[in-house]
């Protein structure tokens, strides 16, 4: 019988609190993701599905490959997202008359309604999240994030 590791009644040392800028940024990002997931719960869609639905509402009918490019995900992942949205009656597939190998994806009328409701819910969620910042701080944060993205 192999020897067992000794046990100790000492609690594990606590992990250091996130105090670096990147750690704080990640903590805010996690909180935003959690709030987004909660905001999407009434429609039983994931954030990825909501993004795909938003792209389809914005651009209209697109090929599945174009949708994957807009979302910056693999075509196989786009297929899975569309499968889930189609199951919920939010999108529909059609053959592409210009290329019978390609599939077109379009939002259904219900998909348009759900996308509008999601946009409203996410805007309200964002407003609530950032409401604790003064207008000048919001403007500064916007400028900083633009600089980081640019």
The DSSP result for 9-22, as a single string, is -SPPPPPPPP-SHH
Number of domains in the chain: 1
CA–CA gap between residue 101 and residue 95 (Å, rounded): 8
Residue partners of 25: CB distance under 8 A and separation at least 6: none
Share of the chain above pLDDT 70, in %: 87
CATH number for the domain spanning 77: value is: 1.10.10.10
Domain-located, residue 13: no
Rounded to two decimals, the pTM is 0.77
**Residue 100: which domain range?**
39-149
Containing 100, the helix (H) or strand (E) segment is strand 99-107
Q: What is the pLDDT of residues 83-117, one digit of tens each?
A: 999 999 999 999 999 998 899 999 999 999 999 99
CA 72, 74, 75: angle at the middle one, nearest 5?
110
Is the pLDDT reported for residue 56 higher than 80? yes
């Amino acid at each position: 019988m192999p020897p067992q590791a000794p046990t100790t009644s000492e609690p594990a040392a606590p992990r250091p609190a996130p105090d670096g800028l990147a750690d704080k940024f990640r903590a805010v990002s996690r909180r935003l993701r959690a709030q987004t997931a909660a905001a999407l719960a009434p429609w039983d869609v994931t954030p990825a599905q909501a993004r795909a639905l938003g792209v389809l509402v914005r651009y209209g009918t697109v090929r599945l490959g174009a949708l994957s490019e807009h979302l910056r995900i693999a075509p196989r992942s786009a297929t899975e997202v569309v499968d889930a949205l189609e199951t919920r009656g939010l999108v529909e597939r059609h053959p592409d008359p210009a290329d019978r190998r390609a599939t077109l994806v379009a939002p259904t009328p219900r998909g348009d309604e759900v996308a509008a409701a999601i946009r409203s819910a996410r805007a309200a969620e964002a407003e609530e999240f950032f409401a604790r910042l003064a207008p000048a701080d919001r403007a500064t944060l916007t400028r900083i994030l633009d600089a980081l993205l640019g």
